[in-house]
């Protein structure tokens, strides 16, 4: 799986958009970009994933650059409950035994 690089931490104001960057310059053509988050003391939670097109769901939007070497997760209106560690994961299709490899992630603190 391609290596990802994320900033270790960032703050965001409540109600504002949070833009979380991820660098994955060694991504290969068949690898997807996944985002998960882990709220303190809880299990990881799936947010979104994409291959090359931008994606949006009820939780977030995922913007992938044209060369696919980086992406940005956007939380459109951050709330205090969005405080968590956010993980960007790049991997091929999730074959049965393929584990999720969580790197350091970005610790996001949403402030009132």
Sorted by sequence, the CB contacts under 8 Å of residue 99 that are 6+ apart come out as none
Q: Is 104 in the site for other proteins (CB under 8 A)?
A: yes
Residue 105 falls in which region: left (phi positive, over 0), alpha (psi -120 to 50) or beta: left
CA 12, 46, 58, 80 dihedral sign is negative
Q: Is 32 in the site for other proteins (CB under 8 A)?
A: yes
Q: Is 13 in the site for other proteins (CB under 8 A)?
A: no
CA dist., res. 102 & res. 79, Å (int): 24
> Is the Cβ of residue 23 or residue 87 nearer to other proteins in the bound state?
87
> Is the Cβ of residue 25 or residue 98 nearer to other proteins in the bound state?
98
> Is the Cβ of residue 9 or residue 46 nearer to other proteins in the bound state?
46
Q: Is 100 in the site for other proteins (CB under 8 A)?
A: yes
**In whole angstroms, how close is the CB of 22 to other proteins at the nearest point?**
15
């Amino acid at each position: 799986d391609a290596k990802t690089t994320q900033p270790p931490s960032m703050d965001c104001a409540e109600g504002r958009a949070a833009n979380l960057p991820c660098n994955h310059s060694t991504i290969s053509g068949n690898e997807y970009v996944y985002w998960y988050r882990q709220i303190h003391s809880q299990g990881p939670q799936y947010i979104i994933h994409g291959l090359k097109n931008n994606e949006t769901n009820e939780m977030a939007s995922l913007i992938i650059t044209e060369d696919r070497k980086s992406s940005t997760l956007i939380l459109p209106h951050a709330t205090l409950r969005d405080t968590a560690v956010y993980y960007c994961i790049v991997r091929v299709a999730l074959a049965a035994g393929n584990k999720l490899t969580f790197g350091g992630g970005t610790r996001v603190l949403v402030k009132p």
